[in-house]
Amino acid sequence: MTEKPLSIVVLISGSGSNLQAIIDALYKQPVNAQIKAVISNKAEALGLERARKAGIDCAVIDHTEFADRLSFDQAMMLEIDRHEPELVILAGFMRILSNEFVDHYYGRMINIHPSLLPDFKGLNTHQRALDAGRTKHGVSVHFVSNELDGGPVIAQAEVAINTNDDAESLRLKVQQQEHIIYPKVTQWFAERRLKLDNQSVYFDHEKLLKPLLLNPRPSSK
């Protein structure tokens, strides 16, 4: 008997390039997972069109129509839970989540962040890495916790920072790695190889002492 596909809901606010990378990976590889819905807080998000082209159900819940963050999050939870997801993926969802929301999906919600966490939490990570004089930068995929960009890190990928890099060139190098690492972590979750237990990440039943490093020859140009 074939195991039921892992049910996924993806939350977006913008272009959805990481969503597209995950959609493409699910089509190309024999991953037992299905994106049941893509939900955005912005009707104009390009990622919604990407989802529609892939035949995925879409919904828009406009955060500006709610009196506060909690009421918005409660409406989001109602819509998400209609699809009974085993995994919720934040793919450029630009809203700070309430504790109630995070607790509801704890252990089954992941996020991608453009830095080598715990360095450079928050925004403007590429310029901050340059200003700090770093020689490497990268991307992290982590379980979501109530600390902003502070949940247990699952995997990372590194890129070299060169003397001629600026924030935009660095963003493009990091984004290239994002499109590799996020589908890979999604695949691991679908294969039941990943688990969060007592704030620790387990991969193939072994506790991770540090994030898995995926470094598929990042460009140094």
pTM for the full predicted model:
0.94
Q: Which of 113, 126, 137, 142 is catalytic?
A: 113
- The segments of the chain whose pLDDT lies below 50 read 1, 217-221
**pLDDT tens digits, residue range 80-129?**
999 999 999 999 999 999 999 999 999 999 999 999 999 999 999 999 99
pLDDT at residue number 31: 87
Question: Does residue 142 carry a catalytic annotation?
Answer: no
Give me the amino acid identity at 197. D
Q: Which has the closest alpha carbon to 162: 220, 121, 76, 85?
A: 220
Residue boundaries of the structural domains of the chain: 1-105
How far is it, in rounded angstroms, from Cα 179 to Cα 28?
Answer: 14
How far is it, in rounded angstroms, from Cα 53 to Cα 167?
Answer: 31
1-105, CATH topology level = Rossmann fold (3.40.50)
